[in-house]
């Protein structure tokens, strides 16, 4: 479709007219970006919704180019329509899940739950769970154990890991700690007591929870804030590359490495919201030092 309308104003006009006759907006299909999964799904959903208009266009046009012949042959295949229908039904839920997983600040404890939602979506649309996706999540996922066990650090769902309270944190979580497991075990028992009596509302934030209880559970809180901050995708890294490109322009080619790092941190953290400060007794000097760090 892209090949047929690029640098071809007459064809574009014919296609837009065909869309309009069928009651669709006069807009061209979104062009997929190789490295952005959602754009492929959205393009497939777009073509499924307007496939009848495309068929009208190929039947009525007097253009005999190779591109038009290819579209005519492909658009009339029943298998294409069936495949695009599946894509169209998966697109809303799947693109939403992908965008959530790419969000900055997503707690690691939410990642596995989001992946299970995607698996449930495939069952709803396809009639059964995607075998390939299920196999990947069950056996081949490189961070399988971590994504499952980090849910324990969210007090709302920690009850499914009750044995951690008595036995201590598993290696997948303990590796984020600088303290011996024996030192953390008493805090795990304290954690169980706190979550049993804690009132969870709709605005609950797992990061704020651990900051709030950092005095009662200093070692565990430090460990949790680290492990819950593990990103679920490489989207943040890609954003940093884009940010560097905007900062290090030809007009700023004399920026030193340290200055460039400062600008990048400011760029990436411009929307950061400070969590509640629980160290009310800290001196101004300590607070300034913390900000610089």
- How far apart are alpha carbons 70 and 27 in whole angstroms? 22
Percent composition of the chain: helix, strand, coil (DSSP 3-state, to 5): 65, 0, 35
Residue 54, CA distances (Å) to 30, 36, 96, 121 in order: 15, 25, 27, 29
85 with 116: CB under 8 angstroms? no
Per-residue pLDDT tens listing for the chain (293 residues)? 888 888 889 999 999 999 999 999 999 998 888 878 889 999 999 999 999 999 999 999 998 888 899 999 999 898 999 999 999 999 999 999 988 998 888 999 999 989 889 999 999 998 888 888 889 888 888 888 999 999 999 999 999 998 999 899 999 999 999 889 999 999 999 999 999 999 999 899 999 999 999 999 999 999 999 999 998 888 778 878 888 888 888 888 888 889 888 888 888 777 654 544 544 444 444 434 444 44
In order, the DSSP letters of 123-154 are HHHHSS--HHHHHIIIII-TTHHHHHHGGGGS
- 3-state SS, residue 2: helix
- How far apart are alpha carbons 16 and 41 in whole angstroms? 21
Domain boundaries of the chain, sorted by first residue: 2-91, 103-232, 235-272+281-292
- How far apart are alpha carbons 109 and 154 in whole angstroms? 6
- How far apart are alpha carbons 29 and 111 in whole angstroms? 31
């Amino acid at each position: 479709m892209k090949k047929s309308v690029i640098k071809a104003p007459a064809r574009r006009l014919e296609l837009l007219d065909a869309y309009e006759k069928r009651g669709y907006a006069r807009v061209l299909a979104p062009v997929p970006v190789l490295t952005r999964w959602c754009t492929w799904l959205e393009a497939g959903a777009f073509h499924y919704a307007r496939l009848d208009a495309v068929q009208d266009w190929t039947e009525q046009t007097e253009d005999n180019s190779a591109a038009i012949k290819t579209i005519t042959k492909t658009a009339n295949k029943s298998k294409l329509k069936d495949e695009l229908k599946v894509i169209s039904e998966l697109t809303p839920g799947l693109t939403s899940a992908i965008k959530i997983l790419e969000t900055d600040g997503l707690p690691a404890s939410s990642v596995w739950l989001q992946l299970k939602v995607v698996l449930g979506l495939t069952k709803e649309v396809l009639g059964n769970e995607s075998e390939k996706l299920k196999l990947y999540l069950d056996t081949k996922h490189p961070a399988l154990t971590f994504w499952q066990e980090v849910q324990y650090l969210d007090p709302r769902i920690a009850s499914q890991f009750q044995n951690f309270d008595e036995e201590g944190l598993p290696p997948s979580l303990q590796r984020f700690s600088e303290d011996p497991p024996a030192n953390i075990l008493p805090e795990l028992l304290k954690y169980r007591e706190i979550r049993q009596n804690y009132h969870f509302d709709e605005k609950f934030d797992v990061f704020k929870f651990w900051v709030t209880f950092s005095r009662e559970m200093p070692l565990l809180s430090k460990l949790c804030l680290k492990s819950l901050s593990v990103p679920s995708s490489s989207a943040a890294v890609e954003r940093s590359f884009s940010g560097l490109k905007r900062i290090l322009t030809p007009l700023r080619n004399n920026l030193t490495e340290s200055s460039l790092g400062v600008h990048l941190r400011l760029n990436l953290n411009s929307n950061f919201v400070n969590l509640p400060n629980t160290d009310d007794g800290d001196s101004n000097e300590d607070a300034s030092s913390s900000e610089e760090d």
